[in-house]
Structure 1
Amino acid sequence: MNTTPEQTTRQLLIKVPQVTIIFWIIKIAATTLGETGGDAVSMSMNLGYLVGTGIFAAIFAVAVTAQVRADRFHPFLYWSTIIATTTVGTTLADFADRSLGIGYAGGASLLFALLMGSLLVWYRSMGSVSVDTVRTRKAEVFYWVTIMFSQTLGTALGDWTADTAGLGYTGGALVFTILLAGVVAAYYWTRISRTALFWTAFILTRPLGAVVGDLLDKPVSAGGFGLNRYSASAVLFSFILLGLYALPQRAAERNH
């Protein structure tokens, strides 16, 4: 079937990928990379959370500007922007939790309020927060701001679960895996809003990545595997690249 000019234009404007199992696999890898990469800069390089946040915020600004200005879906650009949000989210959450002294509970509460506020303003402004409606620059800005808040919140939740709640990295990973399994079950066996389930899963994959990243690079004495942060980040980055090359993604389609 031939596509009409209107359909072609609509396809060009939708610059987010279809939500498939591949999307979630790459998302978890990207969030884990955000944890190891963020820690590599702020801790291994001894630059601190504030400087690390400044570096990654600049990278995020460049990436999201390029993403918003793009005329069509580019998988590598999209996922580069996701990685930028998750690295800045790591250092920003650590700065809020530790350097500002508000703790994991305070940081998570603040970030949750910011995330809910972002979704509320987006909904009132655009009438929907569904991914398949992200086809204007205004919607894209809301989309990326919301993602940035969700990535930062996820880091705080992961640290809170592993440290304050005393579950450790393995226990934290198990908790968030079970919660995500519950979201999958709700998707297949309930009529809960697919948009609500998407954002719930999107948020939960970040703390899962946070605790898995910490599990990989924290010292054995602290309950981790003691892997080099640079090596772990390189392996995760290579996995993402391989996934994007081997399993091409398409832009999301508008639901009617």
Structure 2
Amino acid sequence: MSTSTTAVEKPRTALSTVPEVTVLFWVAKVLTTGMGETASDFLAHHLDPVVAGGLGAVGLAVALALQLRARRYVPWVYWLAVAMVSVFGTMAADVVHVILGIPYAVSTVAFLLTLAAVFAVWRRTEGTLSIHSITTRRRELFYWTTVLTTFALGTAAGDLTATTLHLGYLASGVLFAVVIAVPAIAHWKLGLGAVSAFWFAYIVTRPLGASFADWMGVPASRQGLGWGTGPVTLALAVLIVGVVGYLATTHVDAPVAEVRDRDTAGV
């Protein structure tokens, strides 16, 4: 009887379903943020908004279903989920502003408070916000809820600086490139915890990637390069495929426990 109870209470998997944080993790993250921004804009301008939103929602649901079924970190599955969260997160933030008419300053604060609430519940429930602890279904649900909220927050924050504050997309990108160095320096010099530094940087990658992607995609009349959202989306998607293909082949971002198991097995 005791053996049965133990089996029921075991985590869904002993392996983390998210990657180790490496330089390529941040490269892939910034690429997906940019791709999600321009892909969302492309769909919104070439399809009926309801159809575009429906496609984004279905794509997100399918990608997350695949990710939640995975019992270990699978690069293609994980980064597909991140990409679809990026697309849908952009759509969600745009709906709040364009459809509901809520100013970017208000939506930014609202998404920030929502993220703080998610973090608080996650921390109180699980005792940690570390991505190295994503080994159960409940923790993974907290993780992806957080990721989706960070994308919506980052989208609103990027649009706030670019349009409401009139910085433009290039200046906004440069601003967030400077801001993203803050958690790294604070962790290195001021003792900021690794978990706090990670999530700070994770949030900032969204407006960083989106600002530069918008700058490349929007026309010169909006202070952009005018390459078009379609071509920029395609180019970023190709780069993402290349990076994820490398990660899948080399396993350089495999969770530590998985690497240990592979080494033990002689792989």
The TM-score normalised by the length of structure 2 is 0.87
Partner Cα distance (1:250, 1:243) in 2: 11
What SS class does the counterpart of residue 161 from structure 1 fall into?
helix
- Name the CA shift for 1:77/1:23 in 2 (closer, same or farther; >3 Å): same
Helix, strand or coil for the counterpart of 1:148?
helix
Do structure 1's residue 201 and structure 2's residue 204 form an aligned pair? no
> Equivalent residue of 2:21, what SS?
coil
In structure 2, the partner of 1:105 is: 105
Q: Counterparts of 2:12 and 2:96 in 1: how far apart (Å)?
A: 40
Q: How many angstroms apart in 2 are the aligned matches of 1:11 and 1:120?
A: 24
- Match for 2:107: what amino acid? G
Distance 2:44 2:220 in 1: 20
Between the aligned partners of 1:106 and 1:27, the Cα distance in structure 2 is 26
Provide Cα deviations, 1:66-108, integer angstroms capped at 9, x if missing partner: 1111121100100000001110011110110121011101111
Task: Return the offset for 1:10.
Answer: 9.4
Residue identity over aligned pairs, in percent, reads 34
Name the residue aligned to 2:255. Answer: 252
Q: Given the alignment of the two structures, is residue 135 of structure 1 paired with residue 138 of structure 2, yes or no?
A: no
Residue identity opposite 2:36 in structure 1: G
Asked if 1:16 corresponds to 2:22, the answer is no
Gaps of 5+ in 1: 1-8
In the alignment, the residues of structure 2 paired with residue 251 and residue 55 of structure 1 have an alpha-carbon distance, to the nearest angstrom, of: 31
Q: How many residues align?
A: 244
**Structure 1 match to 2:7:** none
Any unmatched runs of 5+ in structure 2?
1-10, 258-267
Task: State the AA in 2 paired with 1:97.
Answer: H
Q: Which residue of 1 aligns with 2:33?
A: 31
Q: CA deviation at 1:11?
A: 7.8
Q: Deviation at 1:188?
A: 2.1
| Equivalent in the alignment of 1:242 | 242
Output the CA distance in 1 between the equivalents of 2:196 and 2:105. Answer: 23
CA contact (8 A) 2:22 2:253 kept: no
Give how far 1:53 is off: 2.8
Q: What is the RMSD computed on CA atoms of the aligned residues?
A: 1.6
Aligned mates of 1:121, 1:51 — CA distance in 2: 34
Please report the TM-score for the alignment, with normalisation by the length of structure 1: 0.91
1:47 is aligned to 2:44: no
Please name the residue that 1:150 is paired with: 150
Name the SS for the 1:55 alignment partner: helix
State the distance in 2 between where 1:210 and 1:51 align.
Answer: 23
8 A Cα contact 2:218 2:224, kept in partner:
yes
Q: Which amino acid aligns with 1:253?
A: V
